[in-house]
Amino acid sequence: MYQKAHPNPYPTTISSISNFTTLLIVIFALQITLNMKKTNFLIVLTMFVSTLFAQESKPGIYELQFKDKGPNTDAAFDPSAFLSEKAVERRLKHQIAFEQSDIPVNVEYVKEVADNGAKILTRSRWFNNVVVEATPDMVKQISDLPFVAAVKLLDNEANNVSLSQKPFLEAESINKWTAGIPKKATSDVYNYGAAFNQINQLKGQYLHNHGFSGQGMTIAVLDAGFNSVDVMTCFDSLRSNNQIKGTRDFAQPGNNVYATTMHTHGTSVLSCMGAYANGLMVGTAPKADYWLLRSEVGEYENIIEEYFWVSAAEFADSIGADLINSSLGYTEFDPPGTTNHTYADMDGNTTYITKGADKAAEKGILVVNSAGNSGGINDPWKYIGAPADGDSVFSIGAVDAEGKRSSFSSLGPTYDRRIKPTVSAQGTGSTIFSPTGLSSGNGTSFSSPIICGITACLWQALPNLNNMEIIEAIKATSSQVNNPDSLLGWGIPNYELALTTLSVETQTTDKTLFTYPNPVTNSLTIGLPINLHGSYTVQIIDIQGKTVYSISEQNDSLRSLQINNIGKLAAGIYLIRLTDDLLTYSGKFVKK
């Protein structure tokens, strides 16, 4: 949280006055030295002053922190007004409380900022801020608005689009596939073709063979563009089955993320999860649903891209995404300067994007992020980037086909000595699709979605677990569980072992309760899929995560029960949960 800024906290104050005084001294010295004529001197002075003020009036990029969300937000707090039904269900299921950070930024505040001439670039409900393009004079006026708590200069030059010296996909490469396609006689449900090794290395086909291919799971892909995804045949299955739920561009709103002018990085990342080209390549979650969200401008690195990322993550939360795959990482920016991060910033609590990633995890999303490609022996950075340093972020390193660490894979630990990456998967010679066809890729950008997709399948199989429990289950069944390190983390996961170990404890699937009538006015009947014997507990949980009704009883043979006095509950969406000694049953209902 920023402290209240000084009334004039901008680089156009003391430094500008100093520069102006210096210029005057230089000019007067020149006049005396050269015995300059008065007319010529005034011309030169005018030119200098005009140049100075032109520089001072250049628009920059600023973060504006608001004091609150506006008056009467508690009284009007209705999460279902701005969170989808699936998002509300996730919060209810895992008893994640709704809070002030879920309320959108006050629109009247935003309007007043815009009325002062600022261009709104992005906003965050989680952190109650907006990022604007504005001149210093505009920002001086805006800082005096009663609802503005603090102002932070992010970049002193707007529209900085110089080509990057350190692009986000540094050290990555994509090459057209030239080798033959291996033909393996297996009984697997899919013919993985060239992608067999990256699936088999994780024992991921075990989940697919048991019917878990991501059905019902929603993955938000935050990337730099999805060039040609709308026409590539490897995504035919996603399109024909309506598995691409939507797209949005947060970096440059209104763009078509599929355009051929867009970056191809997100296309290849998506293929690691969603491609289905039987005999050539099958992704790790071919039946999951996807949202394609552009938050990165691939041609340059700028600190504002972290703010775009957080806005995209908030949108992913609002539409009910279960997982985020982010094959992105931030360390240094263009042009090199004070906005660069340092290794000391990789402590899980410093960078804006890392705080956003941890907030997404707090909301129940499983955030999967590439560790980075800076681990080479000659790379000056070496360590993981943000947001891979987040303590709730599932950070993915890279190995080759034989399970040896990829030379480029970024190193841990975090600055505060936590083990990172979390786990690793194939990132050298990964099978991917690009707009030119089947390809081979090198980078943690590909090991991350390989893990993300198969993790979605595991979570599909174990829906009673929350996001952090899924991560811990994967770590506990990975190859280096007894000796994790800062090269591969807990090692290469074994998803077959994760499922078979945990399915005994969790009974594999959550059981559904049938509720009727729904919506209900006063009396609710609950139906169970099987007869229940012995003791049980029934809870009704409201949209704020509070238990508003609870009973514990015993019955020799229970198939349905009735709850009266529902009329006492406020109108809204409720989760109903019934537990016995073995299983958890859940459902939802709407109180009119």
Alpha helices in 78-127 (DSSP H): 85-93, 107-115
Please indicate, yes or no, if residue 37 is contained in any of the structural domains.
Answer: yes
Structure tokens at 208: 């697919």
Asked if residue 532 has pLDDT above 70, the reply is yes
Which residue range forms the structural domain that includes residue 547?
A: 511-591
- Least confident stretch, 65-69, 152-156, 397-401, 504-508: 504-508
Is residue 19's pLDDT more than 80? no
Using only the alpha carbons of the chain, give its radius of gyration: 27
425 within a domain of the structure (yes/no): yes
Same domain? For 481 and 521 the reply is: no
The length of the chain is 592
Residues 517, 498, single domain; the answer is no
User: What CATH code is carried by the domain that includes residue 487?
Assistant: 3.40.50.200
In this predicted model, what pLDDT tens digit does every residue of 221-265 receive, in sequence order?
A: 999 999 999 999 999 999 999 999 999 999 999 999 999 999 999
Q: Do 442 and 371 touch, CB atoms closer than 8 A?
A: no
Q: Within 13 A of 281's CA, how many CA atoms are on the CB side? A: 26
151 and 205 co-located in one domain: no
Based on the fold, state whether residues 348 and 226 are members of the same structural domain. Answer: yes
Do 243 and 387 belong together in one domain? yes
Q: Is the pLDDT of residue 50 over 60?
A: no
Residue 316 pLDDT more than 90?
yes
pLDDT score of 12 more than 90: no
Phi-psi region of 364 (alpha: psi -120 to 50; beta: other; left: phi over 0): left
Residue 74: predicted pLDDT: 63
Collapse the DSSP code of 561 into the 3-class scheme (helix H, G, I; strand E, B; otherwise coil) and give the result: strand
Which residue's entry shows tokens 């993790």? Answer: 455
256 with 337, same domain?
yes
Question: In this structure, are 204 and 334 located in the same domain?
Answer: yes
Examine the fold and report which residue of 506, 531, 548 is the final residue of a domain before the chain moves on.
506
SS3 524: strand
Does 162 reside within a domain?
Answer: no
Across the chain, mean pLDDT equals 86
- Residue 98: the pLDDT is 87
Single-letter code of the amino acid located at 239 = R
HSE (side-chain half, CA atoms, 13 Å) at 213: 15
- The total of structural domains in the chain comes to 3
CA distance 328 to 384: 11
Q: Answer with the residue of higher pLDDT: 336 or 117.
A: 117
pLDDT of residue 43: 56
Q: What is the CATH number of the domain that holds 583?
A: 2.60.40.3080
**Burial class for 417, CB neighbours closer than 10 Å (0-12, 13-18, 19+):** exposed
State percent of the chain over pLDDT 70: 84
CA distance 576 to 92: 9
Residue 167 has pLDDT above 80, yes or no: no
Q: Out of 506, 532, 557, pick the residue that ends a domain.
A: 506
User: What is the reported pTM?
Assistant: 0.83
What does the pLDDT read at residue 35?
A: 56
- Which is higher by pLDDT, 450 or 566? 450
Residue 405 lies in a domain: yes
- Tell me, yes or no, whether 276 and 406 share the same domain: yes
